[in-house]
Each structure stands twice: as C-alpha cells, then as structure tokens.
Amino acid sequence: MEIKYKIWLEHKGEVISGNGKINLLKMIDELGSIQKAAQKMGISYRHAWGMIQRMERRCGFKLVKTAVGGKEGGGASLTARGQEFVQRYLALRNNLDKFIKEKFNEEFKRKAQKTKA
C-alpha cells in the first residue's frame, strides 16, 4: 500500500500552479524555449502560452521573460521571481512529501506491524 496525493496553489479560487505547470516552467528555463518545452510535454505552444499567462495573471507577477526571434533567435527563460516561485514550490512539495510519507507510515505501516504481532 502507498499514499498518493496532489497539491496545487490557488488564489481566490483560481488555480495558479501545480506539478504540471511547475514542470512547464522548469522546462522553459532548462530548454530556453516555450515551444521546445511545450513539445517535450506533448502540448501545443498556444496551450503552454495560455497556461503561463493565467499563472502570471493569478499570481500577480511575471514568471517568464521572452525574446523575439530574428537573426540570433528568440527564446524564453524564467524571471528572477519565476525562478524563486519554482524553487519555493519545489521546496514545499519536498517537505510535504516527507511529512505525508512519515504520517502514512505511522498510521498504516507501523500499526499494521503491531496488529500482526
């Protein structure tokens, strides 16, 4: 038996981000492109861009900065606040993972061992 759960951040009842949106932001930062990140995730550029716009509108600050294409090529990366946002979300998720697994073990695994004895 194992525990599964999902977390996401909301503002005034609207979803800001969850694991999927955070993964999109991480890929944009790693690949330097919204298009490449969207392709890797199996979604359209338009869908990815819409996700970014909704996240930015709901959290109230820019997450992604873009450079228009041309001779040098365009690109995208996370803003400083975007990087901080991703890092804070990942830290929260890691801490919750540890806490939830610990509580799960306390309630199910350790108690199950006691009932076998």
pTM of the model: 0.85
Evaluate if residue 117 carries a pLDDT over 70. Answer: no
Question: Cα angle at 17 between 14 and 21, to 5 degrees?
Answer: 135
pLDDT tens digits, one per residue of 21-57: 999 999 999 999 999 999 999 999 999 999 999 999 9
**pLDDT of 74:** 78
SS3 content of the chain, % helix, strand, coil (to 5): 60, 15, 25
Sorted by where each begins, the domain ranges of the chain are: 10-116
- Please, which pLDDT band fits residue 5 given cuts at 50, 70 and 90? very high
Question: Which has the higher per-residue pLDDT, 1 or 91?
Answer: 91
Evaluate if residue 112 carries a pLDDT over 60. Answer: no
Give CA–CA dist 8/28, Å, rounded. 19
Range 10-116: architecture per CATH? Orthogonal Bundle (1.10)
Contact between residue 71 and residue 88 where contact means Cβ atoms under 8 Å apart: no
pLDDT tens digits, one per residue of 61-106: 999 999 887 666 679 999 999 999 999 999 999 999 999 999 999 9
- Length of the chain counted residue by residue: 117
Candidates 92, 93, 31; CA nearest to 64 is: 31
**pLDDT of 1:** 86
Give CA–CA dist 112/117, Å, rounded. 9
